[in-house]
Chain A
Amino acid sequence: MIRHTPFHPRTSEANQTGLWSHWSGYLAADRYQMADKFEYFAIRNSAGVFDTSPLYKYRFTGRDAERYLAGVLTRDIRKCRPGQAQYTVWCDDEGWVLEDGVVLRLSGDEFLLTAARPNLAYFSDLAAGYSVSVDDVSEEYGALAVQGPVSREVLAELAPEIGSLGFFRLGPAKIGKIPVTVSRTGYTGDLGYEIWVDADRAVEVWDRLFEVAQPRGVIPVGQTALLIARIEAGLVLIDVDFHSARYAWNDDQRVTPIELGMGWMLRRLDEDDRAFIGRRAIEREIEEKSSRWKTVGVVVDWQDWARTHNDRGLITPKDHTPQHGSMMLYDGDLAQVGYVPSFVFSPLLQRHIGIARVRPDHAAGGTRLGLEVNIDHRYAVVDSEVSPLPFFDPERKTA
């Protein structure tokens, strides 16, 4: 049976479209109202509230928790102090990415990790010999992301202590009388926060939040709005931009952290004495420069996009619905040099943008590539250009 998140009494009221997806076995609103672009603009112009409760959540506690995670996660968790959060990936022995997630370090020996897929057995099996307990606490929390330029103002009114929270910092707070954890994290590339609350008090937090937020134009936002924002922010999505190596059939389905654009997590590898899973393979990849791909942005040439469609009697399409697939990328000789798993017309940037995977020799910013599009059942190749990620990176995100 499909499950409901702790906020369901409120999200079901707010969802006027009846459109829900199944996300990790839970109902998740695609959009709350007919106009998903209006929800998207809430994220960029006021704030949008997104129910992220369906994410899997694992708690690691115990004397060895840090040491354990330092060996499991690819990014050095020891650099993440209590009260800080870290975006990370974890890999298999061959250095292929298994998953990505955010770790919240609640205290010296307590960590909370979000994951898109079930991982309890995987993490538990690795815990043998460590003084760490690994618990699946997915159902204990409701989680709300409050994302957008007014999010700080709204949360600071609810709990002044949140106002000073830095980027990727977290702390305890009280919303009304309800104890919560608030982290300055999110999946929109904007100023934003996530509120973690005991599941049985989730609805109260929602109500209190909207009391303050609603007069400022803050609205609940569904998956479509979030997925537009995350492409602009250059944030990758599992099963779209990459697949877990755990269930891959061949290496075409696998990526390394470097290929996925996470090379920055490994920049100080020489000063890092951890023996973490996949390390040797990653070192080999670096040494042999054997990465097959780079993850970059592509921006479509607006004139060529218009011309290509106008020549076929069509008005230039500007569809803000994210396209997940694999549009092909070609070099000047029409040889395939990459693909675009995530594509969208950004209403804010007014450009068609995509997260792309290209061969390293075609990854330099400004490289011209042809993007294959299907127009009325025929292929056309439209000019595009490699661009650094993220496409959208406002100062307020980290300020």
Chain B
Amino acid sequence: MSNEYDAIVIGGGHNGLINGAYLARAGLRTLILERRHLVGGAAITEELYPGFQFTTFSYALSLLRPEIVHELELTSHGFMPLQMPTTFCPTDDGDYLLIGEDKDENHHEIARHSKRDADAYDAYNHMMSQVVHAIRPLMDSIPPDITSKDPEERARLAAIGSYLADLPPRVLHDLVRLLTGSAADILEDYFETDIMQGWQASSGIIGSKVGPRSQGSGLVLLYHAFGEHDSVYGAWAFHKGGNGGFTQVLARAAEALGAEIRLESPVERVITSEDRAVGVALEDGTELRAPVVVSALDPRRTFMELVDPRQLPNDLVENVRRLKFQGTSAKVNFALEANPTFPALRGRTDQYRGFINIGPSLDYLERAFDDAKYGWYSSRPYIDSSIQSNIDPEMAPPGKAVMSNFVQYAPYQLRESDWDTEREALGDVVQARLEEVFPGFSDLVLHREVVTPLDIERTVGLTEGNIFAGEFLAPQMFFFRPAPGWNQYRTPIHGYYQCGSGTHPGGCVMGAPGRFASRQILTDLSDA
């Protein structure tokens, strides 16, 4: 094993793997260093109970940029995005909303609850798609540096102004409403039923410490609509073997392109010499050399831990210090003896081929958020559930089931307690809620895994367990992700770059940060 490389990537999450793969593809001798015994970071799959594959953290795929699939030739390494053809939303009164692949069938299903909403659903989707389509070019490029006086950067800034001014006024206005308003404000314009409002609003709170009526939840809603699985905006897929299956594909692709991956290699710090990165030191003291070092960790770790913040400009340190993380999401995953029973659909299981959305109204979600505002987990949580063995049968032994439950809200900071104390109590709350929806649920449980924000932080390294490596708040996006002046993947230290979810465009299994960072690095190298 050599200790000299052209580039070293710290962190083998999906962004680190993608970044390393692109650098290797460009011919750089690239090393990816991962602290844990497996790559993937927040996107891993583990057999926690014999025969049952758990997606411990991240569980579905939508935002992944299609360019990455092609450029890294992921299909030849096992990329397989399985379709999730249903969304199942139990209501509070034992009824449900079951959305599938047929537009007209969906129309009639929604009309069962409200004819008005059935029509509005198409209008809403069209509005969202148009907004997403309009800003896609901005999301899919490296944003200008708003602090720069460089004429080129100024010109790019002006170009964004003209681009927006050229949008149809209606689209521009909808965009601003989404960027600044609450999810509820927008959804109430379209939908009158609790179930439609609740279902749609859930995309506005995922991963974020906002309620559906908070300003800012519109942005979270918009961000999630940005996914485009097989060219359907907002559509999700389940990768074969879970998101861990996906990051294994990435690892194979990176290695095939010549990158080297070392597991169980925690980096202690970036070695610098005269404001230049020259390598990294591992916790065991090993020193590895490279003129390019890329941090795939979140901004806190990138700027405050891997380097000495005293080497950095004060305002950057200040900005990184005040970044909001405040994770509020947890996971409770189960191995089950069989699929659970939903009484109104007794005997059927085909409603479980996608997400199960337990968040039946705006009020329900907002009340769940209320608990979190005051430092406690929701007594009746929002649950984004999926029984993945119905989509990828190999996730569980024949006839049995594995179930992922993404849970909100579970604030990182608990009032007068801590997560080591509350872990199983949270699991109980979630299980009790599932028991309400699926009577007899608890009798099916073979194994339960509770993942609190503290566990996310400890295991993956995401500060305060924030699933996106930094909240999706307007002052932390685009020009400002992770900090004004540092949104182009560079850092004040020459040769030291950032490529994690804390950079533009942001979190989710998206890969754009890793890809753009590699482009920036390669441009800088060719300019040098």
Seen from chain A, the residues whose Cβ lies within 8 Å of a Cβ on chain B are 17, 33-35, 37-38, 41, 44-46, 150, 215-218, 302-303, 315-318, 320, 345, 347-351
Whether A217 contacts B390 by the Cβ 8 Å rule is: yes
Report how many A-B pairs have Cβ atoms within 8 Å. 71
The residues of B that contact A35 with a CB separation of less than 8 Å are 83, 85-86, 100-101, 353
Whether A37 contacts B75 by the Cβ 8 Å rule is: no
B397 nearest CB neighbor, chain A only? A215
The residues of A that contact B81 with a CB separation of less than 8 Å are 347
Interface residues of chain B: helix, strand, loop or mixed (majority) = mixed
The residues of A that contact B101 with a CB separation of less than 8 Å are 34-35, 37-38
The residues of B that contact A320 with a CB separation of less than 8 Å are 230
The residues of A that contact B83 with a CB separation of less than 8 Å are 35, 37-38, 41, 347
The residues of B that contact A33 with a CB separation of less than 8 Å are 85, 350
Can you list, as one digit per residue, whether each of B77-105 has a CB less than 8 Å from chain A (1) or not (0)? 00111110110000000000000111001
Q: Among A33, A317, A345, which residue has the most Cβ atoms of chain B within 10 A?
A: A33
B346 adjacent to chain A (CB < 8 Å) = no
Can you list, as one digit per residue, whether each of B389-425 has a CB less than 8 Å from chain A (1) or not (0)? 1101110001100000000000000000000000000
Whether B105 contacts A34 by the Cβ 8 Å rule is: yes
Interface residues of chain A: helix, strand, loop or mixed (majority) = loop
Question: Bound complex: CA of A345 vs CA of B85, how far in Å?
Answer: 18
Q: Which of B102, B105, B228 contacts A315 (CB 8 A)?
A: B228
Question: Bound complex: CA of A241 vs CA of B160, how far in Å?
Answer: 48
The residues of A that contact B231 with a CB separation of less than 8 Å are 315-318
B233 adjacent to chain A (CB < 8 Å) = yes
Question: Bound complex: CA of A348 vs CA of B80, how far in Å?
Answer: 6
B112 adjacent to chain A (CB < 8 Å) = no
Seen from chain B, the residues whose Cβ lies within 8 Å of a Cβ on chain A are 66, 69-70, 75, 79-83, 85-86, 100-102, 105, 129, 133, 228, 230-231, 233, 240, 350, 353, 389-390, 392-394, 398-399
Known A-B contacts A33-B85, A302-B70, A315-B233; A216 and B398 likewise in contact (beta carbons under 8 Å): yes
Question: Bound complex: CA of A37 vs CA of B235, how far in Å?
Answer: 13
Question: Bound complex: CA of A345 vs CA of B66, how far in Å?
Answer: 14
B105 nearest CB neighbor, chain A only? A34
Whether B85 contacts A315 by the Cβ 8 Å rule is: no
Which 8 residue pairs across A and B have the least CB separation, nearest first? A217-B393, A35-B85, A215-B399, A215-B398, A34-B102, A35-B101, A318-B231, A34-B101
B79 nearest CB neighbor, chain A only? A350
Whether A350 contacts B70 by the Cβ 8 Å rule is: yes
Whether A45 contacts B75 by the Cβ 8 Å rule is: no
Min distance, Cβ B447 to any Cβ of chain A, angstroms: 19
Question: Bound complex: CA of A303 vs CA of B65, how far in Å?
Answer: 13
Query: Known pairs A45-B392, A302-B70, A318-B231. 7 more at Cβ < 8 A?
Result: A34-B100, A217-B393, A315-B233, A316-B66, A316-B231, A347-B83, A350-B75
Known A-B contacts A34-B100, A350-B79; A46 and B353 likewise in contact (beta carbons under 8 Å): no
The residues of A that contact B399 with a CB separation of less than 8 Å are 215
The residues of B that contact A34 with a CB separation of less than 8 Å are 85, 100-102, 105
Min distance, Cβ A175 to any Cβ of chain B, angstroms: 18
Question: Bound complex: CA of A333 vs CA of B350, how far in Å?
Answer: 52
Min distance, Cβ B285 to any Cβ of chain A, angstroms: 44
Min distance, Cβ A249 to any Cβ of chain B, angstroms: 40
B102 nearest CB neighbor, chain A only? A34
The residues of B that contact A38 with a CB separation of less than 8 Å are 83, 85, 101, 353
**Between-chain CB contacts (< 8 Å), 7 pairs:** A17-B102, A37-B83, A41-B80, A216-B398, A315-B231, A349-B75, A350-B69
Q: Among A46, A150, A350, which residue has the most Cβ atoms of chain B within 10 A?
A: A350
Min distance, Cβ B446 to any Cβ of chain A, angstroms: 16
Q: Which of A37, A45, A215, A216 contacts B240 (CB 8 A)?
A: A45
The residues of A that contact B129 with a CB separation of less than 8 Å are 315
The residues of B that contact A317 with a CB separation of less than 8 Å are 231
The residues of B that contact A302 with a CB separation of less than 8 Å are 66, 70
Whether A347 contacts B230 by the Cβ 8 Å rule is: yes
Question: Bound complex: CA of A316 vs CA of B79, how far in Å?
Answer: 20
Question: Bound complex: CA of A349 vs CA of B73, how far in Å?
Answer: 10
Min distance, Cβ A375 to any Cβ of chain B, angstroms: 14
The residues of A that contact B102 with a CB separation of less than 8 Å are 17, 34
Question: Bound complex: CA of A93 vs CA of B463, how far in Å?
Answer: 76
Known A-B contacts A33-B85, A217-B390; A315 and B230 likewise in contact (beta carbons under 8 Å): no
Min distance, Cβ B156 to any Cβ of chain A, angstroms: 20
Min distance, Cβ B51 to any Cβ of chain A, angstroms: 13
